[in-house]
Chains A and B, each alone.
Chain A
Amino acid sequence: MTHLKELEAESIYILREVAAQFERPALLFSGGKDSIVMAYLAWKAFYPAAIPFPFVHIDTGHNFEETLTYRDELVQKLGARLIVGSVEESIREGRVVEEKGYSASRNKLQTVTLLDTLARHKFDAALGGARRDEEKARAKERVFSHRDEFGQWDPKNQRPELWNIFNGKKQPGEHFRVFPISNWTEMDIWQYILQENIPLPSLYYTHEREVFERDGMLYAALPAIPRRPEEVPFVEKVRCRTIGDITCTGLTLSTADSLEEIITEIAGSRVTERGGRADDKRSEAAMEDRKKAGYF
């Protein structure tokens, strides 16, 4: 059995456990390649029945247009139901206050929108496309990750997870985050996309775009990121290695226009994909802190 077949079998097993153990699960869909693979695995896990849970997208209002178009097409193709939680609405309702300044990001704000959306729909399990190879805090998180009634993660008090037995039992008000692709690496994801011929948003392939440079990274020159006077935009051939919202997605100089070329490029890369994420650069323990607060 190849490693991709084995990873696929494990993820499908986890997705079916979620459908069996929880009353109201939801799949967190971001439009990035990891959540696309997770959505595809969910479709495979229950075929020919429909995916027995809705997709939830937390929209910061700063998304690439391509992401939203792709999201709507995929939801239709897989016959899934989509629920959108809007950060802009949370701002309007006064639940959160927008950050100010040039490096303002809605990344932190979306935690509140996420928790509000989960509570409003009484979801008891939220499937996320996080991988343990992405980041140090994630390497320590369980597949079935328990959250208290405030949605928080307590890294020192996690339930032991043995063999492939997952314990999703919870008190009223508590919920779980479940990560079916925990054991996949970035390379596994790309190989699987190639093997299964999964279509991706065009942002992942090379395209010409107006960009500007900040702290050694390239960002899209779009209204969502206010630019300093010296940050003059210029045109480059770029692609996304990961997709978050516009404000935290670094672009890579690349001419790769096929999956084969992308895989070759990643195999030769000397920087992690989260090296391109502005949200992780804020401090060494940025992800740990956001996870404890209830982030994805």
Chain B
Amino acid sequence: MPWCSGSDKGNRMAYHTALYLVLFLPAVCLLYQLAGVRFRPWVLLGGSLVFYWCVSGAMVLYPLAAVLLIHDVGLWMEAAGKEKDERQRKKAFVWGLAVLLGILVWRKYGSFLAANGNRMWRLFSLEPPFSVVPALLPIGISFYTLQAVGYLGDVWYKRIPAERNVGRLGLFLTFFPCIMEGPICRYGQTGHVLWEGRPITWDNLTKGVRRIFWGLAKKMIVADRLNILVQTVYGKDESYSGVVIGAAACCYTIQLYMEFSGCMDMVAGSGEIFGICLPENFRQPFFSKTVPEFWRRWHITLGAWFKDYMFYPISMSPALRGFGRRLSGKGRRRLARLGMSAGALFPVWLCNGLWHGPRWSFLFFGMYYFVLILLSIGAEPWVERWKAKYPVMGNNGVFAGVQIVRTWILVVIGELFFRAEGLRQGIRMFCSMIRGWRFSQLWDKSLLELGLDRMDFVVIGVMVGAVFLVSVLNERGRDVRQEIGRLPLPLRWGVYYGVLFGICVFGAYGERTMLLVRQSRTRRCPVKSHNY
């Protein structure tokens, strides 16, 4: 079943490909710079539509329809607001949401719902009523739909005025660096900056290109190489157990981070060239001491979107507030907090899981984090008491290290299920990992029979070490990019050439790698790019 329309076309135009980096991006840059300030945003919009056409063909009509829809609904809401007609304003908002989300559900979850509906029917020995027709998905539908809903939400809450310029809205929704993988932007933050038509400066160009190369290095040196090992284990998981499965889950977590954050570096770098600062999606997530903290550092724009447009409105709804007040009034403050948290977090994590795709394993992934976060809220009183009893633990480095490792383990378990082809495979792999755990597999060469040799592990180790070092420095508040820029010329260029050399020499190329990358993308992409 194809996960998107023209997935091969999508692969060919992905952000790490020569087609994008050597042909498309430079061509748009050139046209953008040659055009007058007034026309530059139109060049970006035209480039974005061409990009979308290249990866998704006629499906470009979907984001275009979404642009027209939110443009009209926004103006409708504003007009109703001026006439103090709250009923009409609400009607416009609900109508706009229903159409946007309806299309998303129909295209993305239609066959999943139909297949599961048929299963229910069969339980009662009835003939399945739904025909399961795999639907082609417009690329980036999950991303641009969330942006569109966010725009309508902001107009509804009167955080921003409705936009009259349909071109500006169009560029916000379809800006080519963000359309395939995010980040999920807010209109109030990027809508106007995108339309300013700032000139490409030498400083921005070099900064952007450097960031693109850093992202490319993460993806090609680490992620694409680890993909070989991960595919080998996940492709035939019955043949493996214990440490090997644990190692595959760890490798997948690293692969996912390197691929997704690398892609975000390429996206942010592409934006920087045009003087556009896109929101960051990662902030050293593997330094998190708790699971909630991890989600404040990982895929930040998605978490922030769910927080602002789902968590707060649900938490502050009259029903949940009433529930909380009733329990608080009876002196059960902690229970009220836990109940309110559960009431607001359940739909958030249900949607978070399903947003990643129409699969039971993604639903499980969402519920896994819902339970973990709820447990951490429930355990707060005991943790506070424990901290008060042993105050020295608060600043203890060893204790912090233990907390970080605990978070890693929980995250790796979550990713084990996330990467699985289905919930059944996830459970099977988790059970055989626990049952067959033998530390001797670490040194009996089991790990060297998974498609990677010693040299591959050395290359991965060096690059992961470099990323770790940069993360440590960033975590300490140092801007590594700026500091490299201030180095003496030979040293600075040594670093740049080192990264370039690393990509050219140690990047995972070749038929086998490309085949595996293609397979994983069409069957079930290792990164969020399956998230069309």
Do chains A and B stick together as partners?
no
Query: What is the interface of chain A, defined by CB distance below 8 A to chain B?
Result: none
